[in-house]
Amino acid sequence: MELWRPVGIYDSGTLIGFAMYGYFPEPAPGQLWLDRLLIDKRYQGKGYGKQAVLSLLDRLHTEYQSGMVYLSV
């Protein structure tokens, strides 16, 4: 069973992007994935992507206490 979590990326109430992460409990001990990260073209090149990744990694660590995150590219 997988658990996908879509999240919006905002700046002062303005939606500027989207991310999705997921947790796959099998095989044990499970895999945590950062699967999507999109920043609207109008907001690219302004540091939003870097800040979003840092915030997402902090969120993933808090929610799952995992030191390893897999990426989908």
pLDDT at 27: 75
Quick one: pLDDT band at residue 1, thresholds 50, 70, 90? low
Judge whether 39 and 48 are in contact, CB under 8 Å: yes
What's the rounded mean pLDDT across residues 24-48?
91
51 CA to centre of own chain: 11
CA dist., res. 72 & res. 59, Å (int): 18
What's the rounded mean pLDDT across residues 47-61?
95
What's the rounded mean pLDDT across residues 15-26?
92
Contacts of 39 by beta carbon, 8 Å cutoff, 6+ apart: 9, 16, 17, 48, 49, 52
